[in-house]
């Protein structure tokens, strides 16, 4: 007789194979039924075990949140059911502010918290990087300065009782941070890679680690770009914290805050109440979305 369906949690996503952790701690290497896709690390799923080591994912249970990025061709899921993003940056290699703003918009659109980590704090270039990041601290995003190679304790209070996903460009030191926060993470990742037949470990897929009984951490692949084509212009505006008090105060109810007369957002920029850097980031994101929709729908 086939084993009854069980509910588990996806703790690793490697292409078409997923490691699912059951309530009893057992972990199964699973595939999806048919050609179903869209399963993410952090998902709660129903599975049918097919052996002591394997199973089939039958259904993804409703999600509390879903962090993903998109371009004109496809959507790329980063993690599901997280409560906050931990955005990792460093002075060397230099971080791209465009990525920071896009990640913040994606998190805000899902009503998720965000902590910004300035890693490699021992480098002489870090002071200048911290000055660039002061804007985001002023907007209310916690900015944690640390060196993952020596001391990660400043970050630990922010991870307590949260399901956090690490995001950031390649080279920012996310893997070093994970290894410092999760003793044995490297060994655990090798075991997962072996179980899922993914070969040697490179951070190309998401993996969930338990920090303690109440706190989890998902490591995600390094980013080179972060498209937001799944959002509407009004979603982007609402995701900009400093825009919110002014939304609904423009002359036109459907104002895109680009070139329209009587725009409360543009007036705030001109008056110095909104950073030109943030406004430029908004303009770039919305311009990309509007241009793409015009090409797609005519």
What's the pLDDT at 143?
98
- Read off the pLDDT band of 43 (50, 70, 90): very high
Report the alpha-carbon distance of residue 227 to residue 222 in Å, rounded: 14
- Lowest mean pLDDT across 82-91, 130-139, 178-187, 229-238: 178-187
Question: Dihedrals φ, ψ of 265, to 5°?
Answer: -70, -50
Report the alpha-carbon distance of residue 298 to residue 292 in Å, rounded: 10
114: which strand partners? 85
The mean pLDDT of 70-78, rounded to a whole number, is: 87
Looking at the chain, which residues constitute the CATH 1.10.40.50 domain(s)? 233-297
Report the alpha-carbon distance of residue 20 to residue 41 in Å, rounded: 9
Note the pLDDT tens digit of each residue in 124-175: 999 999 999 999 999 999 999 999 999 999 999 999 999 999 999 988 999 8
Contact 90, 78 (CB under 8 A): no
The CATH class, in words, for 66-219 is: alpha beta
Fold that domain 6-60 belongs to in CATH: OB fold (Dihydrolipoamide Acetyltransferase, E2P) (2.40.50)
What's the pLDDT at 197?
47
Looking at the chain, which residues constitute the CATH 3.40.50.300 domain(s)? 66-219
Closest by CA to 185, choosing from 210, 160, 164, 162, is 210
- Read off the pLDDT band of 204 (50, 70, 90): low
Report the alpha-carbon distance of residue 174 to residue 162 in Å, rounded: 18
Can you give the pTM of this predicted structure? 0.90
Looking at the chain, which residues constitute the CATH 2.40.50.140 domain(s)? 6-60
* Residue for token pair 């460093």: 90
Does the structure show a pLDDT above 90 at 72? Answer: no
Instruction: Say whether domain 233-297 belongs to CATH 3.20.20.80.
Output: no
Helix axes 174-181, 185-195, angle to 10 degrees: 110
Note the pLDDT tens digit of each residue in 189-199: 445 455 554 43
Question: What's the distance, CA 210 to chain centroid?
Answer: 18
Closest by CA to 286, choosing from 224, 241, 223, 229, is 229
């Amino acid at each position: 007789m086939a084993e009854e369906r069980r509910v588990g949690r996806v703790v690793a996503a490697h292409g078409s194979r997923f490691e699912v952790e059951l309530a009893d701690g057992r972990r199964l290497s699973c595939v999806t039924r048919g050609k179903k896709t869209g399963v993410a690390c952090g998902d709660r799923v129903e599975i049918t075990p097919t052996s002591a080591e394997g199973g089939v994912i039958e259904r993804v249970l409703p999600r509390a949140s879903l962090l993903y990025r998109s371009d004109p061709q496809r959507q790329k899921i980063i993690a599901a059911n997280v409560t906050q993003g931990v955005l990792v940056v460093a002075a060397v290699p230099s971080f791209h502010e465009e990525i920071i703003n896009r990640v913040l918009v994606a998190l805000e659109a899902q009503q998720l918290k965000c902590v910004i980590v300035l890693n490699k704090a021992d480098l002489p270039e870090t002071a200048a990087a911290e000055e660039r990041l002061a804007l985001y601290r002023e907007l209310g995003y916690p900015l944690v300065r640390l060196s993952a190679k020596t001391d990660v304790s400043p970050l630990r209070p922010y991870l307590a009782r949260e399901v956090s996903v690490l995001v950031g460009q390649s080279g920012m030191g996310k893997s070093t941070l994970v290894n410092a926060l999760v003793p044995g993470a490297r060994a655990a990742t090798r075991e997962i890679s072996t179980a899922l037949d993914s070969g040697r470990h490179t951070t190309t897929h998401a993996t969930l680690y338990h920090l303690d009984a109440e706190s989890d951490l998902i490591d995600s692949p390094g980013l080179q770009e972060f498209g937001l084509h799944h959002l509407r212009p009004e979603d982007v505006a609402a995701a900009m914290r400093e825009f919110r008090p002014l939304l609904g105060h423009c002359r036109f109810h459907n104002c895109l805050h680009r070139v329209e007369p009587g725009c409360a957002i543009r007036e705030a920029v001109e008056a110095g109440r909104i950073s030109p850097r943030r406004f430029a980031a908004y303009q770039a994101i919305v311009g990309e979305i509007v241009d793409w929709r015009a090409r797609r729908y005519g």
